[in-house]
Structure 1
């Protein structure tokens, strides 16, 4: 015999047997279904953010790919400056971590 799931609807108080949605008010009552919908929403959000990042590059990337050579040069200079500042920041963070570690 299959497992019987009796779930009380938090919205209207009706007891439902083996249902994902309340028979009375159509409220989602299945905890498993709620988790599945939440996971799907998180995945969709991650995909949407990845698509946004791909379609909307930062200023340095846009300038590096510009058709005008002066904008391209400025884009590469800006990109190089960002890379150098990031490398200095990484080195400084490493040094502070090593000093803190003893």
Structure 2
């Protein structure tokens, strides 16, 4: 036996039985459908974010792939410096956490 679902439209106040959209004003009233649409929107935003990051690399990545050899060398040096500074910062954070933990 299917359950009977009665939902009041938040837009016009009409009670609807077993419907996803209001029969009076065609407003979306199904919570399941709203969740699905929200999930699709979040997935689309994530896809757009990845595409943007792929199409717009940072300065070091652009310099590493430059046609001029001097810019390419500078790009690799910049990339190496950023990596070394990040490793030093991670090491210091780990050391501080270990000292604080006792």
TM-score with structure 1 setting the length: 0.97
Aligned length: 102
Q: 1:93: Cα distance to partner?
A: 0.7
- List gaps (5 residues or longer) in structure 2: none
What is the match of residue 3 of structure 1? 3
Question: Could you tell me how far apart the structure 1 residues matched to 2:42 and 2:33 are?
Answer: 14
- List gaps (5 residues or longer) in structure 1: none
TM-score with structure 2 setting the length: 0.97
| 1:49-88 matched pairs, under 5 angstroms | 49-88=49-88
What is the match of residue 13 of structure 2? 13
Which 4+ runs in 1 deviate beyond 2 A? Answer: none
1:83 match: secondary structure: helix
Question: Could you tell me how far apart the structure 1 residues matched to 2:67 and 2:73 are?
Answer: 11
Q: 1:5: Cα distance to partner?
A: 1.0
